[in-house]
Amino acid sequence: MKAKLTIQKTALTAIAAFFTLLALFPLAWVMIAGFKEKTEVLSTPFRFFPKQWLVTNYVDILKDAAFQKAMLTTFGGAVLFAVLSLLVNASAAYVFARLEFRFKTVMWLYVIITMFVPGMAILLTSFIVVNKLGMLDTFAVLVLPGVASAGAMFFIRQFYLNIPLALEEAALIDGAGRIRIFTSVFLPMSYPVFVIVGIGSYLGYWNSFVWPTMTITNPDLYQIMQYLATFRSERSTEMGMLMAGSALSALPTIVLFLIFQKYIISGIKISGLK
C-alpha cells in the first residue's frame, strides 16, 4: 500500500513537472534562440541550446530605433489605457453599486448590452467612425476606443457590492458627498480588483494587433505587436533578431505578472465564478 502510494506520488510529480516544462518550453526556447547565431536559429539538426551564447541579436534589436520606439510607446499607451480604463469603469461601477437615480435600469442595460457586441462585427464601422473623427494615425485612436468596458465595469461592481455599507455610512452622516465617498472610501479599498482589471487592460492593449494595424500607418506610432509582425514579413532573414525581439516584447508583461501574480491568481476565485 505504502509503496503504491509512493509510486503514485512520484508519477503525479512527474506529470506536474512535465506539464510545467511544456508550458514554459516555447517561451524559454524563443528566449534562448535569441542567443544563437543568425544561421543557427533554424539549423539542422535541431538544437535547443546555442553552440555559442551570443548577445548580438539582443544588442541589435535593442539598438534598433524603431523597436525602442515601439516598446516605449506601447508601454506608455498600455499604462495610460489601464489608468483611464480604471477611472472610467470604476466610477460607473460605483454608481451602479451604490447610487439611486432616475432611469438606472435603462442605463444599466445600455451599458451591459455593449458587452455582447463582438469586436469583429464593429471592427470596420469603428474604423469608419474614428476616420470621420480624424483620429487615424494618432495616439488617441489606440487608447480611447477600448477604454470603456462593460465587462471591467461589471467586475469592479461585483467587488464594490461586497464592501459593507457600514463603512460609508459614517461618512454619509458626516455629510460627505458621494464623490468624496468614492474617492476616500472606495478607491483606497479597490487595490485588489484594480490590479486584476488594470493588468487585464494593460495586457489587452499590449497584445493588440489588428486594431493598430488598421488605424496606424505612421511607423513612428507602430505598436510592438505591429512592429514584430512587420519585422517578420520585411526582414525575414533576421530570424535571430526576431526571436530576441519576440522574447523582449513578452518580458514586460511577464515581469508585471510576476510582481502581481498573487492577486491575479487569487483573483480567479473572485471572478464571479465562485
Partner 1 sequence: MFKKNYRQDNGVAYLLLAPIVILLTIFVVIPFFYSLKVSFYNWSFYQPSVFVGFDNFKFVLEDDLFLNSVWVGIKFTLMVVPASMVVSFLFANVIKGMRKGSASIVKTSIYIPTIISGIVASVIFVFIYDYMGGLANYVLSWFGSEPRAWLADVKTALPSIAVPAIWLGFGLTTLIMLAGLHDIPESYYEAADLEGAGTWQKMWYITVPLMKNIVLFLTVTGFTGAISQYELSLVMTGGGPLDTTTTPNLYILNHFRNDVMVGNSIAASLLLFVVLGSISAIIFKVLNSEKAIDG
Asked if 29 interacts with partner 1 (CB under 8 A), we say yes
Closest to partner 1 by CB, 199 vs 221, is 199
Q: Which long-range contacts (CB under 8 A, 24 or more apart) does 74-79 make?
A: 74/205, 74/206, 74/223, 74/224, 74/225, 75/206, 75/252, 77/139, 77/142, 77/143, 77/205, 77/223, 78/201, 78/202, 78/203, 78/205, 78/206, 79/202
99 closest CA partner among 191, 185, 184, 181: 181
Segment interacting with partner 1, rule: CB under 8 A, options 52-60, 63-71, 188-196, 260-268: 260-268
Asked if 273 interacts with partner 1 (CB under 8 A), we say yes
d(CA 181, CA 168): 7
Among 206, 222, 240, 244, binds partner 1 (CB under 8 A): 206
| 205-240 exposure pattern, b = at least 16 Cβ within 10 A, e = fewer | bbebeebbebbbeeeebbbbbbbbeebeeeeeebbb
Asked if 167 interacts with partner 1 (CB under 8 A), we say no
Among 7, 10, 12, 161, binds partner 1 (CB under 8 A): 12
Segment interacting with partner 1, rule: CB under 8 A, options 52-60, 64-72, 189-197, 206-214: 206-214
Min dist. Cβ of residue 2 to partner 1 (A): 16
Amino acid occupying residue 37: E
Min dist. Cβ of residue 26 to partner 1 (A): 5
Min dist. Cβ of residue 164 to partner 1 (A): 15
Asked if 221 interacts with partner 1 (CB under 8 A), we say no
98 closest CA partner among 159, 154, 161: 161
DSSP 219: G
Residues 33 to 92 in contact with partner 1, rule: CB under 8 A: 33, 41-46, 87-89, 91-92
Min dist. Cβ of residue 28 to partner 1 (A): 10
Closest to partner 1 by CB, 221 vs 243, is 243
User: In this structure, what C-alpha cell is assigned to residue 110?
Assistant: 445600455
Segment interacting with partner 1, rule: CB under 8 A, options 53-61, 65-73, 189-197, 248-256: 248-256
Note the Cα 206 to chain centre separation in Å: 6
Cβ–Cβ < 8 Å for 240, 257: no
Residues 105 to 144 in contact with partner 1, rule: CB under 8 A: 105, 107-108, 110-112, 114-118, 120-126, 128-130, 133, 144
Asked if 153 interacts with partner 1 (CB under 8 A), we say yes
Min dist. Cβ of residue 181 to partner 1 (A): 10
